[in-house]
Amino acid sequence: MALLGAAALSAGLALPAAASSTGAATDDAAVSASATAGTATSDEATTDGTTDGTTDGTTDGATDAGTTDDADPADGPEGSSPAGDGAVEGAEDSAAAPDPAAVAAYEAAVAASSEASARLAEVSARAGAALEARDAARARADAASAEVVRQRQVAASAATTVAAERSAVGRWASSAYRGGEDARSLPVASALLGSATTDEVGAQLSMLEAVGRTRSVAVTGALDADEIARRALARADAAQAEADSARATADAEAAAAEEALDEQRTLVAEVDARLAQARTDLGVAVEEAKKREAEAAALAAASATVLSGPVDLTGLVGGCASDDLSAYPNGQIPLTALCELSTAPGHHLRGDAAAAFDTMSRSYEQTFGTPICVTDSYRPLETQISLRASKPGLAAKPGTSRHGLGRAVDLCGGVNRFGTAQHEWMAQRAPLFGWFHPSWAQQGGSKPEPWHFEFAETSGS
C-alpha cells in the first residue's frame, strides 16, 4: 500500500487506513507527514537582488526581477527549521482486510490519477511563477513611472532657466539693434531668440568675444539649459516606454496566472474525483466519503470566493477592515492597521492577505485536521534591525522584507520540510488563494526555504 500513500499524498490528500495482508492497519498520510525532520536556517533573499548563506554561506542568488525578500532566521534554536513537526493527526481505526480484487481496483485508480497529479504539480509551479513575475513587472512599471515624473520635472526646471536666460539675451539684442557696441553679436541673439536651432548658434560663437562677460554667461546658460531640457524629455520618453512595456508584461503575466489557476482548479477536481471513486471502490466508510465531499466543496467555494475573476484580491479583507497601508514604511505598520489571522491567533497580515490565508488555512484543515502552522508573519522594523545585528551575513537590510509589508509568512507543522504531504499541499494549492512559493525558495532554487510563502501583490495597492 506504499504506492497508494505516495500517489495520494502527491495530490495533497489524506488516505483512509487500509489493512495489510496481515490485518494491521496503515496510515500513509501519517507516515509521510512524520518523516525525519530536516534542518535549515531561514535565509530569504534580500531586496537588493542577492541572497546569502548556502552551506558555506557565500552563494549569492537573485530573482528574475532583481528583488527578493529578506533573510529570516529559523524560529527556535539556531540552525533548526521553524517549529512544529507536522504528523497528520487522527489516524483512523483499523479495518478488516479488504478483498484483494478491491485493493487491485484501488491501486489501478490511484495509478490512473498519477498523470493528473504530475500535471497538477507542474501547473501549480507555473501559477506561482506567474504571480511572482506579475509582481516584479508591476514594481518595474511603478519605478519607471516615477522616473517619468522626475525627468519631466527636470525638463520643466530647465525650461524655466531657458526662459530667464533668453529674457536677458533679449535685452542685449534690443541694445544691439539700436546700434550700440554690441551690434556685432546680434546674429547670436537672433539665433537664440528666433527660429534658428541651437546647433546653428555654434557657428557664431566666435562673435561672443564682442560680448561682455555677463552677456556671454546669459548665452551659455540658455544653451546649457536648453540641452538639459532636451535630454530630460528624451529620458522621460524612454522611461514612459519602459513603464508601458512593464505594464504590458504585468498584464500578460496576470493572464498567464489566471489561465494556470483555471487549469489547476480542474486538475485538483480531477485528482480528488478519481481518488474519491477509488475510496468508494475500496469500501471506505460513508462518513469518510462525506468528509471528502465536504473538502471538495470547501475548496471549490474558496476558489470561487478568492479568485472568481482575474488574479486580483483587492478589497478581500474578510471581517477585518484593513487600513490603506501605502503611507507606512516597510516594518513600521501599526498592528491596528493590520488584521489578525483567525486561524493563527497572534499573527498579523495585510487585510487581503489575511483573509486569503485564513480561507486557505480552513481548506488545509479539511485535509490535515488542523489549520496551517505559522511561526512568523508581519515583522516590525525593530525586529529586523535586531536580526541584522545578530546575523549580519544572513538577515536582510532593515526595511526591505516582505514580512515588513504584511505579505509573507513562515510556516511549520510539516510545511517547513520539502517532500511532506503538508508542503506538497501548499505548493500545489496555495496559488488558488493568491499565495505562492517564490522561485528562489523552492527546492533547487538559489536559497531553498520550504517554509516561506508570499502573498501576490494586488493591483490596487
DSSP states along 281-341: HHT--HHHHHHHHHHHHHHHHHHHHH-SSSS--TT--TT--PPP-TTSPTT---GGGSEE-
Residues 326 and 451 grouped into a single domain: yes
Give the whole-angstrom CA distance, residue 438 versus residue 357.
16
pLDDT confidence of residue 232: 74
Q: pLDDT at position 324, please?
A: 80
pLDDT of residue 169: 61
**What cell numbers appear for 270 in the block?**
480531477
Residue 454: strand pairing partners: 408, 436
- Which residues, other chains included, contact 316 with Cβ-Cβ below 8 Å and sequence gap of 6+? 306, 351, 352, 355, 356
Domain end among 209, 240, 271: 240
Q: Would you state the pLDDT for residue 130?
A: 81
pLDDT value at position 103? 55
Considering the domain boundaries, does residue 106 fall inside one?
Answer: no
Question: In whole angstroms, what is the distance from residue 329 CA to residue 323 CA?
Answer: 14
User: Where is the domain boundary, 240, 258, 280?
Assistant: 240
CA 452, CA 441: separation in Å to the nearest integer? 7
Q: Would you state the pLDDT for residue 5? A: 35
Torsion, Cα of 89, 92, 94, 98 (10° steps): -130
Look at residue 275 and tell me if it is in a domain.
Answer: no
Q: Do residue 86 and residue 199 come from a single domain?
A: no
Please tell me the distance from the alpha carbon of residue 185 to that of residue 174, in angstroms, as a whole number. 11
Q: For residue 321, what is the domain's CATH number? A: 3.30.1380.10
Residues 331 and 461 in one domain: yes
Write down the pLDDT at residue 219: 56
Residue where one domain finishes, among candidates 209, 225, 240: 240
Instruction: Judge contact between 97 and 23, C-beta under 8 A.
Output: yes
Is residue 124 within 8 Å of residue 429, measured between CB atoms?
Answer: yes
Q: Is residue 375 helix, strand or coil?
A: strand
Q: Is the pTM of this model over 0.85?
A: no
Inside any domain, residue 47: yes
- Asked if 335 and 234 sit in the same domain, the reply is no
What length does the chain have?
461
Q: What is the pLDDT along the chain (461 residues), one digit of tens a residue?
A: 333 333 333 333 333 333 333 333 333 333 333 333 333 334 444 433 333 333 333 333 333 333 344 444 333 333 333 433 333 333 333 333 445 555 566 566 666 666 767 777 787 888 888 888 888 888 888 888 888 888 888 778 877 876 776 666 666 656 655 555 444 544 555 555 454 455 554 544 444 444 444 455 555 666 677 788 778 788 878 878 887 887 888 788 878 778 878 888 887 887 777 777 776 666 654 555 566 666 666 666 655 544 444 433 333 444 576 668 888 999 999 999 999 999 999 999 999 999 999 999 999 999 999 999 999 999 999 998 998 888 776 667 888 889 999 999 999 999 999 999 999 999 999 999 999 999 989 999 988 999 999 999 765 44
* Full residue range of the structural domain in which residue 340 is found: 1-6+28-95+308-461
313, 405: one domain: yes
Judge if 227 and 322 occupy the same domain: no
Q: Work out how many domains the chain is built from and give that number.
A: 2
Residue-level pLDDT at 371: 97
